[in-house]
Structure 1
Amino acid sequence: MQNLIPGDMLEVNQKLKWELDSGMTADESSVINDAVLAGVQYYTDEALEGSYWTVKWNTAHDGIDLYGTTGLVVGTIKPVSASLEADFRQDAQSLFMRIEQAVAEIVRDN
């Protein structure tokens, strides 16, 4: 359960329960934000066929920056609504499909 990247709100609630039962400090928002970040890293690793780039929330926490091997930002995943968390809550499957496509374009262009 620890490595599960929730793909919908049911899985978010399952992971939240597991984290709370394990003594971790978490809430629904933190589980969703962790899932989105982990999803971007997963698709980045898949596109590059390895863990060559790093992903991090930007300082405003309104997007996820992709850092290339030189440590410079090579692209950013932005929300289509108020936040990536809101995008996840609205339609997690569409968000992850959009992330996968955006990551593929960023990798191709860099």
Structure 2
Amino acid sequence: MQNLIPGDMLEVNQKLKWALDNGMTADETSVINDAVLAGTQYYTDEALEGSYWTVKWNDAHDGIDLYGTTGTVVGTIKPTGSSLEADFRQDAQGLFLRIEQTVAKIVRDN
């Protein structure tokens, strides 16, 4: 459960329960934000066939920056709504599909 990337709100609630049962501090928002970040890293690693780039929330926490091997930002995942959390809550599968496609384009362009 610890390494599960929740793909919908049911899995978010399962992971939240697991975290709380194991003495961790978490809430729905933190589990969703962790899932979006982990999912972005997963798709980035898959597109590059290895862990060559890093993903991090940008300073404003309104997008996820992809950092290339030189440590510079090579692309950003932005929400279509008010936030990536809101996009997840509205349509988690659609968000992850969009992230996968955006990451593939960023990798292709760099």
Q: TM-score, normalised to structure 1's length?
A: 1.00
* Deviating 4+ runs (over 3 angstroms): none
Q: Unaligned 5+ residue runs, structure 1?
A: none
Cα distance in 1 for partners of 2:46, 2:30 equals 24
Residue 28 of structure 2: aligned partner: 28
Cα distance in 2 for partners of 1:93, 1:11 equals 12
Q: Unaligned 5+ residue runs, structure 2?
A: none
Cα distance in 1 for partners of 2:22, 2:66 equals 31
Cα distance in 2 for partners of 1:102, 1:8 equals 20
Shift of 1:53: 0.1
Shift of 1:87: 0.1
Shift of 1:67: 0.1
Residue 63 of structure 1: aligned partner: 63
Task: Give the aligned CA root-mean-square deviation in angstroms.
Answer: 0.1
Shift of 1:62: 0.2
Residue 76 of structure 2: aligned partner: 76
